[in-house]
Chains A and B, each alone.
Chain A
Amino acid sequence: MQTVFSIAIDALAYGMVLFVISIGLSVTMGLMRVVNLAHGAFAMIGGYIASYVARDLGLGYSVAVIAAVVLTIIIAIPIERFLYRRIYGAPELTQVLMTIGITFCVIGIANYVMGPTLKTIPLAGPLQGAANLGFRSISVHRLFAIVCGLVVALGLWFAIERTSFGVKVRASVDDAAMASALGVRTEVIYAISFAIAVGLAAFGGVVGAELLPVEPYYALRYMVTFLVVVSVGGAGSIPGALAACLLLGAIDTTGRYLMPEFGEFFFYLAVIAIICVFPRGLAGRAK
């Protein structure tokens, strides 16, 4: 019984970390209809900035998180203005080619500037070490990641479903021409959505760094995992992505406990099964 609880906790923690890292991609793919393969690259940039701020400059973890999100967005603004704006509404292949190109450029630059070794982000004092749950111990940082995931999920859901900004976003997504005819400045809406998505990527990169350490190939190494979460959850759906992360986290963790030899067999088996039953993902909307 203890083992079952233990696995459940691990699954929850892993699922929430997945959620924090992947949700930004769900926003770009679902709301902006851009297949953004450079998502991992933005998460990595965030991780590098946080590492630099916390480790080399010696500022605190909270400063590092904020700096990572803000600076990554600042870096992303010219990229959005000059590159992404050209591919809104373009065929998916064009989007894939350009964003994968951006990814490789970022990998090269990161390798050159930061070097090929692993970079860590020193945690704030209270987040270090392990907490005792009575029947087992778990690192405090995992609990922090769970909380972050819940906060991000609630915040995003509220912003998209309950605010006037969210209404404009959904209108621009559904019919950009009609929305702009009604006075919605779609360019601004897209730019802000993109900034939010990039900021979330950077935030995820920092919070998830304990599990997925920052190094130049981060941008490609975990891309498949991010894409799987988005496609299983249904692009653009916050509850869908959350459900997908928890489900996949549970399947992956249990599989790894019971039969590690099978590798990611159960993970991908579950992905295939879910996609067969829900071709648009758990909460995907019909076009």
Chain B
Amino acid sequence: MRKIILAAIAAAALSGTAYADVIKVGVVGPFSGPFALQGKNFKAGIDAYMAINGNKIGDDTVEIIYRDVPQADPAQSKALGQELVVKEKVQYLAGFYFTPDAMAVTPILKQAKVPMVIMNAATSAIMKTSPLVVRTSFTTWQTSTPIATVAFEAGVKKMISVVSDYGPGIDAENAFKAGFVKAGGEVVQSIRMPLTTNDFSPIMQRIKDSGADGVFAFLPSGPTTLGFVKAYNDNGLKAAGVKFFAPGDLTQESDLPALGDAALGIQTTFHYAVSHDSPENKAFVEAATKAIGNKAELSFPAVGAFDGMHVIYKMIEATGGKQDAEKAVDAVKGLSWTSPRGPVSIDPESRHITQNIYLREVVKADDGTYINKEIRTFEKQGDPGLAAVR
């Protein structure tokens, strides 16, 4: 008899916990290796969101489980995604810095009944691979298209494009060309350089020989941008009046201290600058700086992660903590809110974030640090890349 009572109490206790669940969110990103800084930014954004909004939604507790994919590695990403779903029983997958890593996991979402919130991977095509994907970062098309207008309005009619030879670089090349030709300009040459290029002098010579009045450049943030910008200055292109245009990847906040004076005056377009002036951003930067430890390391993946958490919280609210992937995704279609980067919304059709793209110029702030100062806003930009890949 006593056993039965005990069992009944145990059963009651167990079913009781079912009302206050722990909802697990699996985050895949580069937390070690050469891209660890980006993973650190994911974590800072997530920590900042949870510090501001708490880890409880109703009675449910949100728990984040991190998994490390140091470099673009689709096989490992898929294995970790499966492990998170099967063993850890996560209700949401999030993170994903590289496109191939995200693409490797999207095929399992439907069967696992798990929505995915992409916090960085910036290739347009990912959204087509599963209806359960929502993205809160940006696409290279989205950030590279407005700069074409800027270049044309600056009086440049002949451009040369120089990009790193990999997916996002080619996206940037196409996006710029589409935008610039539409505006009425001409792209005289398109150069693709290997990702491992260290010495950019020959490329600068090519630019000079092409006779273009301006150069559009795309390189991933990191060591190579430093060499590229320096080569642009030292080889006399700046002095010769060849104007420089790029998306914001080239002037990341984390690279600016190293770029220093070499970057002054460079204009780039991007969705987020740490210096963005709004109360939301102030609160975000404060919380994220606390999480990351050093403000100089804070850059765009943090805001993608911050907004990604917002979307996941809304999904959890809408489903009451129950696992229902379709309902969760439907609930955030058309969702709009004020992000640290400005007003944003989730486009119901593409499930990609619609946001302002800012034209920024690198300037020296009053405290001697270099910042991207926003000087012009392109409002409510969708993803032009999706139409292009269709």
Contact = CB atoms under 8 A, between A and B. Distances in A.
Interface of A: 3, 6-7, 10, 13-14, 17, 111, 115-120, 129-130, 136-139, 141-142, 210-213, 215-218, 221-222, 252-254, 256-257, 260-261, 263-264
Nearest to B37: A116
29 contacts: A6-B205, A7-B202, A10-B202, A115-B297, A116-B40, A117-B296, A118-B226, A118-B258, A129-B234, A130-B236, A136-B205, A138-B235, A139-B235, A142-B234, A211-B227, A213-B223, A213-B227, A215-B223, A217-B33, A218-B223, A253-B201, A253-B202, A256-B199, A256-B202, A260-B192, A261-B165, A263-B193, A263-B194, A264-B194
A117 B255 contact: yes
A261 B206 contact: no
B129 interface: no
Contacts of B278: none
B111 interface: no
A139 to B, nearest CB: 4
Most-contacted residue by chain A among B192, B198, B209, B255 (CB, 10 A): B198
Contact of B196 (A137, A217, A263): A263
10 tightest Cβ-Cβ pairs between the two chains A and B: A263-B194, A139-B234, A257-B202, A118-B258, A137-B236, A10-B201, A116-B37, A256-B202, A217-B34, A213-B223
Contacts of B233: 130
Contacts of A222: 198
B230 interface: yes
A138 B201 CA distance: 9
Contacts of B227: 210-211, 213
B57 interface: no
A213 B194 contact: no
A130 B197 contact: no
Interface of B: 33-34, 36-37, 40, 165, 191-194, 196-199, 201-203, 205-206, 209, 222-223, 226-227, 230, 233-236, 239, 254-255, 257-258, 260, 294, 296-297
B237 to A, nearest CB: 9
A141 B34 CA distance: 28
Contact of B297 (A7, A17, A116, A216): A116
A117 B199 contact: no
Nearest to B38: A116
Given A120-B226, A138-B235, A260 B203 contact: yes
Contact of A212 (B194, B198, B203, B239): B198
Contacts of B191: 260-261
B230 A139 contact: yes
B56 to A, nearest CB: 33
A14 B192 CA distance: 20
A17 B198 CA distance: 11
Given A118-B258, A264-B196, 18 more contacts: A14-B201, A115-B294, A117-B254, A130-B239, A136-B235, A136-B236, A138-B201, A139-B234, A141-B234, A142-B234, A213-B258, A222-B198, A253-B201, A256-B197, A260-B165, A260-B191, A260-B197, A260-B202
A213 B40 CA distance: 21
B234 to A, nearest CB: 4
B205 A261 contact: no
Contacts of B34: 216-217, 221
Nearest to B257: A117
Contacts of B202: 7, 10, 253-254, 256-257, 260
A158 B274 CA distance: 54
Contacts of A115: 294, 297
B21 to A, nearest CB: 36
Contacts of A217: 33-34
Contacts of A129: 234
A256 B255 CA distance: 25
B191 to A, nearest CB: 5
A18 to B, nearest CB: 9
